[in-house]
Structure 1
Amino acid sequence: MSGRARLTLASWAATLMAAGALLPLVKPATWIFTAAFVLALVSGAGTLVRRVAPARSPALLAQAVVALLALTALFAREQAVLWLFPGPRAVTYAAELFRTGAEDVGRYAVPAPDTEGIRLMLVGGVVVIGLLVDALAVTFRRAAPAGLPLLALYSVAAGLSGGGAGWLWFLLAGAGYLLLLLAEGRDRLSQWGRVFGGAQRTGRPGTAVGSGGPSFAPVRTGRRIGAVAMGVALVVPFALPGLSGGLLLNGGGGEGSGGGGGTISTVNPLVSLQDDLRQQEDREVLRYRTNATDTSGMYLRLVALDQFDGLSWKSSVRPVVDVP
């Protein structure tokens, strides 16, 4: 396999591995197969065009056209010209479908159902990120900056999941980026020639230097550095103050003995209630303990909506003071 082909495959895999952080947001998560298929078409188009025209512009243009045609055939087939080419009707329908997907994102709690609008946003977003990664890593031969689109994709998933994706998705996304860097590193080393082995050098018989065989020490060193870096990224939040609720410990937990100040935050009770009612399974959100013998008349209240402004009910404005 050539170095450019290896970079193309690594870019495709790194994008999908970073997109794995989006899987818990929507159920069923079958959209990832559609995104993988479209990305494979885009990567294949870029590979074919680069064989014919070494210039960068034709490959980028061909990949953008293939992505547009594939998305049109998948999501606006009935409105497209000859079921493939985007016309005015297809563009209008896609814009309306995207708007519906944005409304569904605000309507449903995680995990949201796999509606057509949400599927368009997910597949389209992953394809756009894949285009950027492929352009940077393969077309321009700059794999390191390609980590920025991958980071953006993971950050969106972490934000939508309510404060952070799981450690497994972090490891998967990080491994994809390291895979991309490793592919670029091997490609650069192959362009130097057999620097680490092919020359006639003095050495013991049977060794890599003495026999002229290639040495893979840089590859092994790169893997070790990558593994150590990912391990540090997972372990450091436990050791630093203020980061105990980081990637592996989502949220601060519901129990504690106090100590230390904090931020008093309020929520819109109607929005909170709406989100709670749309949860698809029961969740334990609070535990309390009491010494009362009769608990039939006890209830918990977050806020009282005691003011009506003619349009909606709101709570009274309460002054917030420091709490010991």
Structure 2
Amino acid sequence: MSALLTRPEAGSPLSGSPQEPDPAPRGSSEAANVAVGAASALAVLLCSLSVHGVIEGWSWLTPLFFAILVPLAATAAARRFRVPQPLVPVSGMAVLACTLTWLFASSSSFLGFLPGPGTLARADALLSEARTVILTEVTPVQPLPGILFLCCAGIGLVAVLTDTLAATLRMPATAGLGLFAVLMLPAVLKPESLGTGYFLLAGAGYLVLLAAGARREQHGPGTRVPRPWLARATAVSASSLALALLLPAVLPGFSGGAFPEGTRFNFFSGSTGLNPVVSLGSDLRQPQSAGRITYSTSSTDPVYLRSTTLEDFSGSRWGPDIRAAERREGVSTMSPDASTLPGGGRSTPVVTRISSKTYSSPWLLAPYYPLGVTGAEGNWSWDPKTMTVLDDSSDSASTQDYQVLSVSPELTPEELARLPEVDNGSVDAVFTDLPADLPGNIRDAAAEAVKDASTPYAKAMAIQGYLRGPEFSYSLEAPVEGGYDGNGMSVLSEFLERKAGYCVHFAAAMAVMARQEGIPSRMALGYAPGQSTGDTPEGTGPNGEPLREFEVDSSDAHAWPELYFEGAGWVRFEPTPSRGSVPVYAREPLAPADATIRDDEDPRLPGTPAAVPALPQEAPLEPETVLEPGDAGGTAWLGALLGVLAAAAAVLTPWAMRRRRAARRRHAAADGRTGPVWDELADLGIDYGYPGRTSDTPRTYAGRLAQEAGLSPRAEEALNRIRSSFEVEAYAGAGRGGPAPAPVWADLETVREELRRGTGFLGRIHARFLPPSLALRFRHG
């Protein structure tokens, strides 16, 4: 009988179905499923290589190597010694916890690897460090212990999940979900997205995993994969990879890599709060504005909404210093330090009402200098050195409607010009310190800009004029293409060489160059004033002034420098050409037509002066294009529609392929063959969770299927008729060239309906749209 079960077309009694292997001896390599486990580890490692660029350098790869291999070795050992199947992934996660303890908390553990009382505290500290880095740094982030711990823990869990699906549950196709989760991290965070190279490595890892799983399940360990199967698998795999690489070229919003770039393509306009520096470039480069915020203000001048500041320029990456020990609770009344009040005490009170349903950030937006905030939901505290407001609970609501009382300085160029240099000790050293290894071209640029200026104000104006001069241009593309999309001294040095960048680069350049010339400085982040809505809300300012309403969105994300002057406090400047609004006290006098300084205000702001004509030979500016909803809506909706269609195709393709296979078999059965009916029955058993075994005969499989599936007498009779007809054809050659018994396919439908009714909702969805028989059987049925 067994000889008939290996016929070339049918392959086995279940026609090549993924067969449950005969019980392997305890402790055998077959029981351990070593080949599939090794393929799982290789696939996860290949996918993990794409993390390069999210984390700086390659130092993260060594601990990640241990976090993947050691737990998967444990799961292989658990399978080898026949540990109960539910405990296999548990053993992997337990060993992963020990591995992470050894890598990151050995000093607070038993024997250097067993978690102890101090291990959880160490893990909490590492996660807190990772959260701070994520909130405050731009990719690639520094490989600090917290980031490495988060990376190893996350990808280690994915490795255990992938191994469980592929090697323990023997579902290698489904294991690709874990690999996809790893790829999404660099796909979303890296400016150039995933990239073709890393996508191909990930695809190769997945194909190796599929090949190992298929070889183990269909052909048994140690056998060679038939050439037809290998050829078909290669053709489908190559076609899938080619489609994935070519599709971005024809979809709007894709500009590189194998996924839509997170900085360029946005289906949704949900929560888009400004995480300092990290998302500023992404917000500016979105093809369609998102994250609308409205504010009504009594100020006669445009209001900058400030979220936080950067003042420590010593590291390779700059981020806000939370200064938790110095923060003060309660923001309804913020008692100011007289030395930090702008304008030397001469200032105008301003009321600003801010409303947003999408802004999500731990930093609260407020005009500078805030004196009190009312109505904001959250546990807010404020920093007396920078007057920034932070939510200590880190879960502030994205829907906010609050009011800020602030003061606006009354400054004039003449007053600022008379101010002396800042005395030592007037401000904290963090606002004046520069690293000892400051690049030489930054020092040279500061000297070239300042020239013979003698007073702090003259130096500040000279630096602002230098950066707004014709040699520099505003560009959202140059930083990405040049590879310096972010901040840090190395980025700033590159910017001064290329002379093209966006607001982060201009603001950082002025702040650092001002420090080089002895002026304390910091960089503020938030939103430029935006556009007037034309509405006049109810209410008035402190002195009866009417309120005017403005709106800002992701395209208004902005950075600007603030310089400290003795007797005037912190003063805002605007070195970025074609962006924001230059304050009255920082504007150059109207220049003749051959002037070399540009004072080109943001054209969206009402009442700003016209730009001074540029020299004929000057390269044209590349101002930011602000897209109204109608400008890019069609492209975005087309991209969204194509994305939905692509997702639907991905879901429906397995269903369509499985349906086509069944139709071919039904057509073949009409020609007098019962073998295709039996093949379809075998696939139905696979789809609904009743696969065959290597030792099965048609009779033993039919009996076991009826028992395990709990078939009704009617369905069991139909199953036996199919089995009997197949046995007659297989053993006696009956049916070849003659008509098939009429009830055979109808009997198959009876069994199919019985299997469907006996399976839960999720099981039916899985059998229909992700049929395991299709993924694990690659042959003509």
Contact 2:33 2:79 in 1 (8 A): no
- Matched with 1:113 is 142
Structure 2 distance, partners of 1:93, 1:15, is 27
In 1: Cα distance, 2:127 partner to 2:289 partner: 36
Whether contact under 8 Å (1:109, 1:279) holds in the other structure is no
Q: Using the alignment, how far apart are the partners of 1:22 and 1:70 within structure 2?
A: 20
1:285 aligned to 2:501? yes
Structure 1 vs Structure 2: percent identity of aligned residues? 23
2:242 matches 1:217: no
Q: Deviations over 1:134-193 (max 9, x none)?
A: 011111101111111111111122122247222222222122112111111111222399
Equivalent in the alignment of 1:48: 77
Match of 1:8 among 29, 37, 41: 37
Q: Deviations over 1:237-284 (max 9, x none)?
A: 2224x244353685669xxxxxxxx62347977579877444742354
- The worse-fitting range, judged by mean Cα deviation, of 6-15 and 267-276 is 267-276
Q: Distance in 2 between matches of 1:35 and 1:224?
A: 33
Q: Decide which structure has greater helix share.
A: 1
TM-score, normalised with respect to structure 2? 0.33
Larger Rg: 2
Relative to the length of structure 1, the TM-score reads 0.74
Within 5 Å, which residues of 2 pair with 1:283-322? 284-285=500-501, 293-298=594-599
Count of matched residue positions in the alignment of Structure 1 and Structure 2: 280
| Inter-CA distance 214–61: structure 2 relative to 1 (3 Å threshold) | closer
The CA distance in 2 between the partners of 1:149 and 1:214, in whole Å, is 26
Instruction: Compute the displacement of 1:96 (Å).
Output: 1.5
Q: Secondary structure at the match of 1:27?
A: coil
> SS of the residue aligned with 1:112?
coil
Equivalent position to 1:147, from 176, 179, 192: 176
- In the other structure, the counterpart of 2:238 is 227
Name the structure 2 match of 1:18. 47
1:263 is aligned to 288
Do the aligned residues in 2 keep the contact of 1:110 with 1:279 (CA within 8 Å)?
no
CA RMSD of aligned residues (A): 3.5
Q: Distance in 1 between matches of 2:306 and 2:245?
A: 35
Corresponding residue number in structure 1 for 2:257: 247
Cα distance, 1:120 vs. partner? 0.4
2:121 to 92, 113, 130: 92
Could you give the per-residue CA deviations for residues 90-122 of structure 1, whole angstroms, max 9, x where no partner exists?
Answer: 111111111111111221111111101011011
Contact 1:109–1:278 under 8 Å retained in 2: no
- Is the Cα–Cα contact under 8 Å of residues 60 and 148 in structure 2 kept in the other structure? yes
Q: Matched residues in 1 for 2:257 and 2:603: separation?
A: 28
AA of the residue aligned to 1:17:
L
The alpha carbon displacement at 1:29 in A equals 2.0
Partner of 2:162: 133
Helix, strand or coil at the partner of 2:501: coil
Secondary structure, aligned partner of 1:24: coil
Sort the Cα spacing of 1:34 and 1:148 in 2 relative to 1 into closer, same or farther, 3 A: same
Aligned positions of 1:170-185 closer than 5 A: 170-185=199-214
- Write out the 4+ residue segments of structure 1 that deviate beyond 4 Å after TM superposition: 248-253, 265-276, 299-304, 320-324
> Aligned with 1:164: secondary structure?
coil
SS in 1 for 2:114: coil
Letter in 2 for 1:285: G
Alignment equivalent of 1:238, drawn from 218, 237, 249: 249
SS of residue paired to 1:113: coil
Alpha-carbon distance in structure 2 between the residues aligned to 1:154 and 1:323: 33
SS at match of 1:99: helix
1:303 and 1:271 map into 2 onto residues whose CA distance is: 24
Q: Are the structure 2 counterparts of residues 12 and 321 from structure 1 closer, same or farther at C-alpha, using a change threshold of 3 Å? A: closer
In structure 2, what residue type is equivalent to 1:263?
Q
Pair 1:236–1:76, CA change in 2 (3 A): same
Q: Distance in 2 between matches of 1:61 and 1:97?
A: 24
> Matched residues in 2 for 1:76 and 1:4: separation?
32
Check 1:185–1:252 CA distance in 2 against 1; reply closer, same or farther (3 A cut).
Answer: same
Conserved 8 A contact 1:79-1:89 = yes
| Counterpart amino acid of residue 597 in structure 2 | S
The answer to which of 272-281 and 53-62 deviates more is 272-281
